């Protein structure tokens, strides 16, 4: 079985590795020098609950991927010598208004079905746990099972693992089109010629819609720009993710922290503007005012591949035997990479998966 994976972000790299580990011959095609710019620019949270506004059929898959994280990152570290810095120190989801606090009470009920240790804290208890928090918060949901990785290091580890695994890697080769007859996809065209395979996996993130259009497949994946500030010299250390409706902080092993993130549709524009800085610093003031004098070390910008329901497309496209999608992971691509890789490898190599991917059927919005 020869599989072509298009796109070497966190999703395409994870899928390619999983297929290779299960014995498939794999070709991985990436248009940019390194690839995975969005993945490396992310905050790296492995957070099934804190940014999820309500109970949803997607949660069993989110939770499954969260549970794969320790083993997945350990194997990457052992195989490559690059530590993705997996940390499972949890998250405090902070309420900034009485209405937010009420919402957290509702959330606690469904979160507890997965994580029985989740609890609602009053403002004082939350500030004792995390002294950086602003004293005027209203409550906090403690989510001990959430964690994070250092996204740039994760991407470096994945790249090294891909290089070591015997995957045929084509870097700097944009896939110009997917080749298929009326029933089946059988390859990809690049500027350098045609690459044929038994299956093609599209993992092109925010660049997916244009690649599928010539096949008559109209799937919406919109780039949603996100800017993050890197903070150093924190006056008070941060030990867990501090998240809120206006922004979040993610600590790093070296004592720095990420302050994220903006959300806006701006096409493929990768600039960070003064307005982004303003809104992020305003969020910092509301969530963790004790960090007001931290140093701004820089910023990252990425394009989230968003879909109409903010859930990914995972699976085969109706009417195109051999054409699989693993894209549109929106706000959760880092969280969902290990389970997506597993599900896609199951589908291609075994024809089915036991993972709960029904909510991600790529045909759900097809006309």
Ligand X SMILES: Cc1cc2nc3c(=O)[nH]c(=O)nc-3n(C[C@H](O)[C@H](O)[C@H](O)COP(=O)(O)OP(=O)(O)OC[C@H]3O[C@@H](n4cnc5c(N)ncnc54)[C@H](O)[C@@H]3O)c2cc1C
Nearer to ligand X, 16 or 82 (CB): 16
17 binds ligand X (CB under 6 A): no
Nearer to ligand X, 5 or 123 (CB): 5
Paired sense of beta strands 177-180 and 185-190, if any: antiparallel
305 binds ligand X (CB under 6 A): yes
Among 60, 90, 247, 260, binds ligand X (CB under 6 A): 260
Alpha carbons 197 and 194: distance in angstroms, whole number = 10
- For residues 307 and 224, is the Cβ–Cβ distance under 8 A? no
Q: How far is the CB of 38 from ligand X (least distance, A)?
A: 3
Q: How far is the CB of 52 from ligand X (least distance, A)?
A: 11
Reported as type and span, the H/E element at residue 346 is: helix 333-350
Tokens of 83: 């530590």
- Interface mask (CB under 6 A) for ligand X, residues 322-351, using x and -? -----x-xxxxxxx----------------
- Please name the residues in contact with 124: beta carbons below 8 A apart, sequence gap of 6 or more: none
Q: How far is the CB of 125 from ligand X (least distance, A)?
A: 25
360 three-state secondary structure = helix
Q: How far is the CB of 176 from ligand X (least distance, A)?
A: 7
- Interface mask (CB under 6 A) for ligand X, residues 20-39, using x and -? ---------xxxx--xxxxx
Tokens of 288: 């963790």
Tokens of 269: 């524009």
Residues 173-202 contacting ligand X, CB under 6 A:
174-175
Look at residues 356, 361, 355, 358 and name the one whose alpha carbon lies nearest to residue 307: 361
Alpha carbons 165 and 30: distance in angstroms, whole number = 17
**Binding-site ranges for ligand X (CB under 6 A):** 6-12, 29-32, 35-39, 41-45, 174-175, 203-207, 211, 226, 228, 260-261, 302, 304-305, 327, 329-335
């Amino acid at each position: 079985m020869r599989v072509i994976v298009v796109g070497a972000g966190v999703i395409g790299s994870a899928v390619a590795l999983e297929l290779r580990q299960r014995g498939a011959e794999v070709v991985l095609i990436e248009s940019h020098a390194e690839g995975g710019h969005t993945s490396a620019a992310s905050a790296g949270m492995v957070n099934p609950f804190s940014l999820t506004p309500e109970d949803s059929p997607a949660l069993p898959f989110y939770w499954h991927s969260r549970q794969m994280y320790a083993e997945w990152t350990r194997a990457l570290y052992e195989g490559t010598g690059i530590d993705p810095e997996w940390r499972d120190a949890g998250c405090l989801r902070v309420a900034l208004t009485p209405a937010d606090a009420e919402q957290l009470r509702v959330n606690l009920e469904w979160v507890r079905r997965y994580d029985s240790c989740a609890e609602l804290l009053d403002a004082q208890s939350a500030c004792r746990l995390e002294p950086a928090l602003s004293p005027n918060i209203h409550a906090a949901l403690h989510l001990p099972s959430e964690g994070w990785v250092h996204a740039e290091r994760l991407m470096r580890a994945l790249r090294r693992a891909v290089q070591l695994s015997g995957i045929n890697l084509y870097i700097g080769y944009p896939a110009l089109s997917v080749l298929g007859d009326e029933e089946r996809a059988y390859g990809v065209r690049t500027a350098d010629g045609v690459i044929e395979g038994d299956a093609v996996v599209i993992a092109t993130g925010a660049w997916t819609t244009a690649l599928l259009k010539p096949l008559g497949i109209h799937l919406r994946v919109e780039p949603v720009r996100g800017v993050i500030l890197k903070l150093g010299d924190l006056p008070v250390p941060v030990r867990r993710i501090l998240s809120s409706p206006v922004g979040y902080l993610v600590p790093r092993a070296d004592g720095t922290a990420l302050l994220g993130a903006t959300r806006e549709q701006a096409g493929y524009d990768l600039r960070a503007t003064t307005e982004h800085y303003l809104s992020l610093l305003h969020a910092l003031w509301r969530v963790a005012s004790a960090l007001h004098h931290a140093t701004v070390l820089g910023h990252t910008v990425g394009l989230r591949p968003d879909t109409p329901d903010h859930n990914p497309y995972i699976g085969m496209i109706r009417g195109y035997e051999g054409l699989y999608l693993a894209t549109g992971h929106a706000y959760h691509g880092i969280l969902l990479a290990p389970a997506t890789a597993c599900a896609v490898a199951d589908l291609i190599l075994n024809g089915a998966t036991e993972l709960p991917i029904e909510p991600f059927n790529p045909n759900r919005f097809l006309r």
